[in-house]
Amino acid sequence: MHEYATRFADLLEQLAERVRELTVDRIARAIKLTGLGILVAALGLTAVAFLVWTIFGALEIPLTTAGAFAVFGVVLAVAGGFLWFKRSRT
């Protein structure tokens, strides 16, 4: 009789471990990856903002503020035109 109790306890433990592998472990991995993705996106956006700010400041030295804005406007207009002509026709 003691052997059946041990086998039943082992069966329950294996069942609980399998259920945990299929549910909790997957969700924990997804939550971890989501958090890392949000962190990477925030750091990337911050880096892009500082890069644009630095380029604007570097352009503002030889040009005036209006000249720096004009250069940024031309660059963005050219990039927008390129994306407009390269868009998919579907």
Query: What confidence tens digit (pLDDT) does each residue in 6-44 have?
Result: 888 888 888 888 888 888 888 888 899 999 999 999 999
- Using pLDDT thresholds of 50, 70 and 90, give the confidence band for residue 90: low
- Taking the whole predicted model, whether its pTM rises above 0.75 is answered as no
Determine the pLDDT at residue 54.
94
For the segment 57-69, what is each residue's pLDDT rounded down to a tens digit? 999 999 989 999 9
C-beta separation of 43 from 55 below 8 A: no
d(CA 77, CA 72): 8
